[in-house]
Amino acid sequence: EENVREKINQQFEELVATLPSDKGFLVPTLINYKGFWCTPGSVFKGVLLMQDQFKARSTDIFLCSALKSGTTWLKALMFATMNRSKFQLATHPLLTTGPHNCMPYLDVHIIDHDVEALPSPRLLSSHCAYFLLPKSTRESSDCKIVYICRNPKDMFVSHYLFAMKLRPPMLPPISMEEAFDLFCRGVCEYGPHLDHVLGYWKASLESPGKILFLKYEEMRKDPVKHVKHLAEFLGKPFSAEEEKAGVIEEIVKLCSFEKLTSLEVNKTGKLALVPGMTIGNENFFRKGEVGDSKNHLTPEMIERLDKITEEKLKGTGFAF
């Protein structure tokens, strides 16, 4: 174990020095690993560790997403759905624990925790591109993956505003125009965003029983329908009695933007995002609106990104 970590540490230093780099929104530099952008610090180390050491169990459940695509919301919904027989609503852990603390990021958690010690079924998450997930998760087990995507314009705006809140003040500022240009060239954490989405989209077409592909916008329209489907996919369908008793609606209400943002834990609670960086839970909640990007992007920006998106998606059968 120690040797493997040492080897990865060494490999890590050598690798980082050779990889192409560009500017980040939240951190000064991103590095490009096998076509995808990551922060060169501990997260990247976690990705290498995860690939080397993680062994999937058939009962594992993964939530995967690009940044700012509805991860926090889906963490809450999946946690509440999977554990619904364990907890009463009045004393539900989500009332006192932030959604991110209910479902760890595997690539962060594995850096200083023993993921083998987590009881089954493990609920884990990652922002990694599909092909960067551990091999055993993708290939050799029955574990499930739920992916959520969001339209690139809203995702970009959410990402940029999130980064502006958390970008260390000693770094030079980065304008929305500059960040947008980077984003259009595919440069953003865990990006290129469209490749991220298409990677999971294609995998979900190949393995529909293993990968559930969700869209933030569609979930916003009809969360009850999607939570019902989610439970079926996860092998925990709601019974007729549960449906009659309004359990799905209760879960949707508990995890709603309004409810979560009203809780003290999501106003003042904290999350250890990566080792050495703790941020306030409130940063994960802003507006939760579909189409808010039109209030931030110019018509020219919208036209540019729409065009890039259209060209990239041509022939894939996928549309946002």
Report how many residues bind ligand A3P under the rule CB under 6 A: 19
Q: Of 68, 92, 215, 226, which lies in the binding site for ligand A3P, with binding defined by CB under 6 A?
A: 68
Please tell me whether the peptide bond between 192 and the residue prior to it is cis, using omega within 30 degrees of 0.
yes
Residue 46: which of 115, 116, 144 has the closest Cα? 115
Those residues with Cβ within 8 angstroms of residue 198's Cβ, 6 or more apart along the chain or in another chain: 312, 313, 316, 318
Q: Does 196 bind ligand A3P (CB under 6 A)?
A: no
Catalytic, 127? Answer yes
Catalytic residue (choose from 127, 193, 196, 226): 127
CA 226, 230, 233, 236 dihedral sign is: negative
- How far is residue 153's CA from residue 160's CA, in Å, rounded to a whole number? 11
Give least dist CB 290 to ligand A3P, A: 8
- Given a contact cutoff of 8 angstroms between Cβ atoms, the answer to whether 144 and 64 are in contact is no
Q: Does 281 bind ligand A3P (CB under 6 A)?
A: no
Q: Of 12, 73, 79, 201, which lies in the binding site for ligand A3P, with binding defined by CB under 6 A?
A: 73
Q: Of 63, 80, 182, 255, which lies in the binding site for ligand A3P, with binding defined by CB under 6 A?
A: 255
Helix, coil or strand: residue 62:
strand
Q: Of 65, 81, 126, 309, which lies in the binding site for ligand A3P, with binding defined by CB under 6 A?
A: 65
Site string for ligand A3P, 259-278 (x = CB under 6 A): -x------------------
Q: Of 160, 201, 284, 318, which lies in the binding site for ligand A3P, with binding defined by CB under 6 A?
A: 284
Terminal C-alpha separation, the chain: 43
> Applying CB under 6 A, which residues contact ligand A3P?
65, 68-73, 154, 158, 255-257, 260, 284-288, 292
